[in-house]
Amino acid sequence: MAIEVTVPEMGESILEATVSHWLKKEGEYVNVGDVLVELETDKVNVEVGAKAAGVLQQIKVQEGGDVKVGDVLGTIDEKAGQTPSPAPEAKQSEKVEDAPKPPEPVREQKQEAAPPPRQDGKNEKQKEAPLVTPVASRLARDKDVDISGIRGTGSEGRVTRADVEKYLQAQDKLDRTAEQPQALADVQTEVSAIQPSGSRPEERIRMSRRRRTIAQRLLEAKNSTAMLTTFNEVDMTNVMNLRKRTQDQFVERHGIKLGIVSFFVKAAISALKGFPYLNAEIQDDEIVLKHYYDIGMAIGAEEGLVVPVIRDANKLSFAEIEKYIKELVGKSQSGKLSIEDLRGGTFTITNGGVFGSLLSTPILNPPQVGILGLHKIEERPVAVNGQVVIRPMMYTALSYDHRIVDGREAVQFLVRVKELIEDPALFLLD
């Protein structure tokens, strides 16, 4: 009996996906629960497992194809999975009967189990191997590629899917050159004769579903909102000194470092309480004011920007916010963010400073009407009490929907954030 492999329910508001990568091939035997295919949505990647054991009979949607919930991805032949099982048992029984001595099968099993001690060196190499994203790891395993030989271009030297694909392309060219050097030389001669001097090569890459969705949402934000941005600058001296004085005690007590972003989360919430229209959204001709604070944190992942949410951030301590952020970043890097991690959000913070951005204009994350942009901390000469001094300064930016937020409110919001960061003792008054 053929069992259909269908696109499962993928979460709230997610109706479509793109087939990213088949982990099994047609004709391959699969067990219940084996991951067959990975789907890419605009928010997270979804793994589709086998609901029955058997042979993957047919792949109906190839990689890169778009699908909807309920669409058939492929079929599994259960009967094909049942027929091979008696054969190994029969062979084993014949071996036992033919064998004059019972210990013989045991010696064969020991010989098969012997390789692990000889893999010590390999294990050492694996320990030294670079960090790898889940998508890149699956692709390398499927193509039988030694990941330790690939230089990663992702964050912290992480090997990405693009790195593996480039490695495979390079190896393919090397193989063709080794097999047909003269033919390749002839082709190169023909190409050079046809191409004009100074010609520039191009490469076409299909946009991922997430990248397409990001592009669509950014255009929607631009075309459907009256977005403006206001700027300010913040003296980070007191926050940095406070972190320096208390860092060791903070780590000892909470097991995590005190970062910069948690101060801005706290400051933003305090400012949102004073200017509630920045913690709202527009629904038809009504303004929905939200009296809870789910703060989105924009994170640049391998497949594209994601905005996981810190729930009820106003109820969390500095340490709890830091742990929340660390957990979300870890999930993003390992591809384990869930739909619940990304759902909702009332206000967003994005930190371009981690990439070296000095100043930028953040784009709204609809239906939210406000987003706070943080930037690189840079020492600059500033005037303090009539004297020119060098201080660690940061530019901040607030983009807002002018349909319900006026410029006066936006400016005062940033001023409130500035006051709290420059004098952290004010947090005690909230």
Residues with catalytic function: 402, 406
Closest CA to 279 of 376, 405, 100: 405
Peptide bond just before 308 cis, omega within 30 deg? no
- Between CA 79 and CA 93 the distance in angstroms is 23
Q: How far is CA 86 from CA 30, 32, 89, 95, 106, in A?
A: 17, 18, 5, 15, 22
Query: Which residue is associated with the tokens 């530019």?
Result: 395
Q: How many CB atoms lie within 10 A of CB 349?
A: 23
Phi, psi of 204 (to 5 degrees): -105, 125
In this structure, the chain runs to a length of 430
Q: Are 23 and 31 in contact (CB under 8 A)?
A: no
Q: Give the pair of three-digit tokens for residue 70.
A: 């309920």
Query: Is residue 188 exposed (0-12), middle (13-18) or buried (19+ Cβ within 10 Å)?
Result: exposed
Q: Are 133 and 333 in contact (CB under 8 A)?
A: yes
Q: Cα-atom radius of gyration of the chain, to the nearest Å?
A: 28
CA 26, distance to chain mean position in Å, is 29
